[in-house]
Chains A and B, each alone.
Chain A
Amino acid sequence: MPVSLRILIAKPGLDGHDRGAKVVVRSLRDAGFEVIYTGIRQTPEMIARTAIQEGVRAVGLSLLSGAHLTLFPRVVELLRKGGMKDVLVFGGGVIPDEDIPVLKKKGIDEVFGPGTPTDMIVGYLRERLGPNAGK
């Protein structure tokens, strides 16, 4: 029996709006992933350490406050420093289009904006982590 893949969904920074993150948690759960959610107002250090302790294959960061250019790359940096060389980092929230290439250069593999169908995120994770991911 294949083992369900573990994903961390995290909310870095000070914004308290997490309905989007919860929708993603729910859709990944329903797609067969084991999802851990940090809750709001997390520091990059908390997120990275959580990802390491939980042994996740991917970390999804959600942010609506505008601090993504600072916080997302910091999480990637801490993850790599902690030895998680292969962990996939993706992001979502209110991210201006022109910031996406900047984030991608800094190790954020993909960015999903408002209105992204949840199937697309599931499909993306399966493509990146293996076709049976979460199944």
Chain B
Amino acid sequence: MPGSRRARELIEGVVARDLLSVSRALSLVTDEGEGHEALVAGLFRRQGRAHKIGLCGPPGSGKSSLVNRLISGLRKTGERVGVLAVDPSSPYSGGAFLGDRLRFQEHATDEGVFIRSLASRGMMGGLNATIYGAVHVLEATGADRILIETVGTGQDEVDIADVADTVVYVTAPYGGDEFQAMKAGVMEVADLFGVNKADLPDAGKAVAALREALSLGPQERRGWIPKVLGVSALKGQGMEEFLLALDEHRAHLRGGPEGRARSARQVRRELSLLISRRVYRDAVGRIEGRHIEMLLDRETDPVTLGKKLIRGRP
């Protein structure tokens, strides 16, 4: 099968960190091109131990600038870093301006860093099935950390918790009071809160409001108390503590049952997304003109016909 041969060659290139192979593998999985399934299947079995860090939060909170600082900090200790930066696709033209990368261009020529921008292409919650494939590619390069920056959609961006090991919520002063922070959704999945732009006045107030909101109920979630830290991606202040908190969370995951529980959640979600995609594509592909006619003439109904189409061609 040419697909699987191509996949094998690509995998060899990815593992050897050949830049062009990594890039082509990423294109193949995100475009779902010919052979992408063989590629993902092959990559999945050789996963490393990358620490996957998801960054979410509203647009303009400084996620990309923070990623820039994180890359700098992680590179100081020689860690290999992979970055996936997602920006929204236009629902009108299908086009996108992938503008996260320009914040971390200073790392463009660093051999230990691989950055790929992704358009959301209709992803829900800032992510879609192909993100798992992209993570597998970067993991196979031997990356120690993979930073995943989501679309800045905001409140219900909880899908990131099914991809990342550690979820960081980035916010900024004037991003709302403690009532904002009491809401359900993304506030519940974050392991670490980064109050960015801490160089601004009122940053302390924002940190206090978040801590106040979190303290209203049980703080500990499966052995971990989410941390709230003030950082300034612009000035670099607070970055050491922030990096330390990421390491602490990684140690928490690896030292107890929570790490495996999160991995289980990730593979379960990847599996179910893959199944739903496959089943959907196959079933929808079986729809013929006569089926539509049958519906129009009320000879059948969408529920009955739909069940039949999922099983095979009726």
Contact = CB atoms under 8 A, between A and B. Distances in A.
B31 interface: yes
Contact of B117 (A4, A28, A36, A42): A36
Interface string A21-46: 00001101111111111110011011
Given A53-B115, A55-B24, A84-B20, A39 B93 contact: no
A54 B23 contact: yes
A96 interface: no
A32 B26 contact: no
Contacts, number: 93
A128 B19 CA distance: 25
Interface in B18-77: 19-20, 22-24, 26-27, 31, 33
Interface of B is mostly: mixed
Contacts of B176: none
B19 to A, nearest CB: 5
A76 to B, nearest CB: 16
A34 to B, nearest CB: 5
A80 B77 CA distance: 33
B23 A37 contact: no
Interface string A76-103: 0000001110000000000000000000
Nearest to B101: A36
Contacts of B116: 53-55
A45 B109 contact: yes
B235 to A, nearest CB: 20
Contacts of A33: 95
B93 A30 contact: yes
A4 B20 contact: no
Nearest to A47: B108
B19 A53 contact: yes
Contacts of B96: 4, 29, 34-35
Contact of B94 (A4, A35, A37): A4
B93 A32 contact: yes
Contacts of A82: 19-20
Nearest to B96: A34
Contact of A38 (B23, B101, B121): B101
Given A29-B97, A34-B95, A34-B96, A52 B23 contact: yes
B314 interface: no
B99 to A, nearest CB: 6
A49 interface: yes
Interface string A53-86: 1110000000000000000000000000011100
Contacts of A35: 95-98
B237 interface: no
B95 A31 contact: yes
B272 interface: no
Nearest to B94: A32
B90 interface: yes
A24 to B, nearest CB: 11
Given A49-B109, A53-B115, A29 B90 contact: yes
Contacts of A25: 97
Nearest to A35: B97
A82 B121 CA distance: 28
A42 B108 CA distance: 10
List 4 A-B pairs, minimum CB-CB distance, nearest first. A39-B102, A46-B108, A29-B95, A83-B20
Interface of A: 3-4, 25-26, 28-39, 42-43, 45-46, 49-50, 52-55, 82-84, 134-135
Interface of B: 19-20, 22-24, 26-27, 31, 33, 89-90, 93-99, 101-102, 105, 108-109, 114-117, 119, 121
